[in-house]
A and B are shown apart, each in its own frame.
Chain A
Amino acid sequence: GESVGLHLPTLSVQEGDNSIINCAYSNSASDYFIWYKQESGKGPQFIIDIRSNMDKRQGQRVTVLLNKTVKHLSLQIAATQPGDSAVYFCAEILNTGKLIFGQGTTLQVKP
């Protein structure tokens, strides 16, 4: 079936700490995964993506890890800042081109 899920609905971290947001997906045929950030009142914003032939990809302060064996995706944010507070969605693109979103994790950054 089609489903992408996140392990925790809310994650609260101290400013400056590292954040890890997890996601499980069910479609082993998916070959492209994306993390989006959605701030209050705005649309989802692309953060980072990864193809299934990779297990790690790094951006500026963000790292995405992909474990195809257990169908697990994670987003790591280094030195979390107040501006990182948002809802984070993982998403997978099926081979039909359809984008399936997970349910979202709310990241709260405490000063």
Chain B
Amino acid sequence: DTAVSQTPKYLVTQMGNDKSIKCEQNLGHDTMYWYKQDSKKFLKIMFSYNNKELIINETVPNRFSPKSPDKAHLNLHINSLELGDSAVYFCASSQDARRTQYFGPGTRLTVL
């Protein structure tokens, strides 16, 4: 009955590979987000989708491509992984863009 879930929890991969992280929310929220948390715990927004439409796209390399098949899912695909992509990635959702955001448990990505 987890509200915001992500898979996988851990992802270890080689440089140059392509990987995806999945996110699902069962809260009935309209807006979903992806955040990156670096080794110093700093959280920065990457993308935001409202009803499957992209509304926020921060300065993120175009190797990162979010995809929202429906408003309950927002997946993150990363091409040509680099060492600097190693971080914890969090998915979040909110009722709308100006309401409290609820976070998933995170996916720790390690690029070797």
A interface residues (Cβ-Cβ under 8 A, vs B): 32, 34, 36, 38, 41-46, 49, 87, 89, 93, 96-101, 103-104
Contacts and interface: CB of A to CB of B under 8 A. Distances in A.
B40 A103 contact: yes
Nearest to A103: B42
Describe B's contact surface by its main secondary structure.
Answer: strand
Interface in B23-47: 31, 33, 40-45
A28 B70 CA distance: 35
Contacts, number: 51
B66 interface: no
A42 B43 contact: no
A100 B33 CA distance: 13
B2 to A, nearest CB: 11
B43 A101 contact: yes
